[in-house]
């Protein structure tokens, strides 16, 4: 039996997949992100999205009047001069949010390359396809596959260790990026003791919290310290992301999909 790991691509992109495999789409996204980082002269983490924008000759300016965190525009130029690609960025006290916002707009800037590699006319896909591609590129720019997977495996997928190396990415983005790789896992985020996210890279519905996961979460929540639980064919690791006015815990549950199929004696 072959194990198939599902991609966490956003819904808008799936419109393109009638004749394009998930693997082809992932490969195109990875390659375009690599190209952009190479053009920007980035040789290793952490990736500074503002520096990447500058290297790609994309101007970044503050615009606190806009509703969103950032938007990609081409500012009108003098006659005979090409318009200049620009990112209008709203102020935000969290540097990771600014980094994500700029990375997303860089994704908008280079999204056409993904469609070109796939032989897809952007005018023939759903209206939100470009937005979905930009989202996927943003994660790949801040957490490039070629570095992230090697570092994650070497460090045992430790979230805090990865955060120290990929400082410009948020804890949640790092946890979500784990879903793009094997082994089969579930990522769960708790905010103020409530589940705000629970995703898996295995097909089908995500199962409810197991007793092992609940036990791990309770210990992390109460002790404000990372914890690990192994039970029920699962390896559950939890990390506290606690701030003065916000309590968040993130769990990574690695699943032994063969556990229930082992012969009993």
pLDDT digits (tens, 9 = 90+) for 100-154: 999 999 999 999 899 999 888 777 766 678 888 999 999 999 999 999 999 999 9
User: Which of residues 243 and 264 earns the better pLDDT score?
Assistant: 243
SS3 229: strand
Domains in the chain, CATH or no CATH each: 1-143 (1.10.10.2910)
| Spatial CB neighbours of 135, under 8 Å, sequence gap ≥ 6 | 10, 104, 107
| pLDDT band for position 83 (cuts 50, 70, 90) | confident
Question: What DSSP letter does each residue of 7-60 carry, written as one string?
Answer: P---GGGGGGGGSS-HHHHHHHHHHHHHHHHHHTT--SSSP-HHHHHHHTT-EE
Could you give the count of Cα atoms lying within 13 Å of 61 in the half-sphere of its Cβ? 12
User: In this model, does residue 265 exceed pLDDT 70?
Assistant: no
Question: What pLDDT was estimated at residue 28?
Answer: 94
SS3 239: strand
User: Which of residues 180 and 69 earns the better pLDDT score?
Assistant: 180
Question: What pLDDT was estimated at residue 121?
Answer: 79
Question: For residues 54 and 178, what is the distance between their CA atoms, to the nearest angstrom?
Answer: 28
Structure tokens at 139: 């994660």
Q: Give the residue-averaged pLDDT of 242-254.
A: 95
Question: For residues 51 and 41, what is the distance between their CA atoms, to the nearest angstrom?
Answer: 10
User: In this model, does residue 264 exceed pLDDT 90?
Assistant: no
Question: What pLDDT was estimated at residue 175?
Answer: 98
User: In this model, does residue 74 exceed pLDDT 60?
Assistant: yes
User: Which of residues 74 and 91 earns the better pLDDT score?
Assistant: 91
Question: What pLDDT was estimated at residue 261?
Answer: 52
Instruction: Name the residue among 117, 167, 163 with its Cα closest to residue 137.
Output: 117
| pLDDT band for position 15 (cuts 50, 70, 90) | very low
Q: Percent of the chain having pLDDT more than 90?
A: 63
Question: For residues 106 and 84, what is the distance between their CA atoms, to the nearest angstrom?
Answer: 13
Question: What DSSP letter does each residue of 160-200 carry, written as one string?
Answer: HHHHHHSTTS-HHHHHHHHTTSSS-EEEEEEETTEEEEEEE
User: In this model, does residue 6 exceed pLDDT 50?
Assistant: no
User: In this model, does residue 1 exceed pLDDT 50?
Assistant: no
Instruction: Name the residue among 201, 142, 176, 192 with its Cα closest to residue 251.
Output: 176
User: Which of residues 222 and 125 earns the better pLDDT score?
Assistant: 222
Instruction: Name the residue among 184, 206, 57, 70 with its Cα closest to residue 138.
Output: 70
Q: Percent of the chain having pLDDT more than 70?
A: 83
| pTM of the shown model | 0.85
């Amino acid at each position: 039996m072959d194990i198939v790991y599902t991609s966490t691509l956003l819904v808008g992109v799936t419109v393109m997949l009638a004749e394009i495999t998930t693997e082809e789409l992932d490969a195109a996204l990875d390659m375009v992100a690599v190209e952009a980082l190479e053009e920007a002269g980035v040789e290793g983490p952490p990736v500074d999205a503002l520096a990447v924008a500058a290297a790609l000759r994309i101007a970044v300016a503050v615009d606190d009047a806009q509703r969103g965190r950032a938007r990609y525009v081409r500012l009108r130029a003098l006659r005979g001069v090409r318009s200049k690609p620009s990112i209008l960025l709203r102020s935000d006290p969290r540097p990771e949010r600014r980094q994500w916002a700029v990375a997303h707009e860089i994704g908008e800037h280079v999204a056409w390359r993904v469609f070109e590699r796939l032989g897809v006319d952007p005018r023939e896909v759903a209206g939100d396809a470009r937005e979905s591609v930009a989202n996927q590129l943003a994660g790949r720019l801040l957490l490039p596959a070629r570095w992230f997977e090697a570092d994650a495996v070497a460090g045992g997928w430790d979230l805090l260790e990865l955060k120290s190396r990929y400082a410009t990415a948020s804890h949640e983005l790092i946890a979500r990026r784990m879903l793009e790789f094997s082994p089969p896992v579930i990522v769960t985020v708790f905010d103020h003791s409530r589940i705000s996210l629970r995703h898996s890279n295995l097909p089908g519905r995500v199962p409810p919290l197991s007793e092992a996961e609940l036990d791990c979460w309770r210990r992390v929540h109460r002790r404000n310290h990372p914890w690990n639980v192994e039970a029920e064919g699962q390896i559950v690791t939890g990390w506290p992301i606690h701030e003065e006015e916000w309590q968040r815990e993130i769990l990574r549950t690695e699943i032994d999909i063969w556990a229930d199929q082992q012969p009993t004696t």
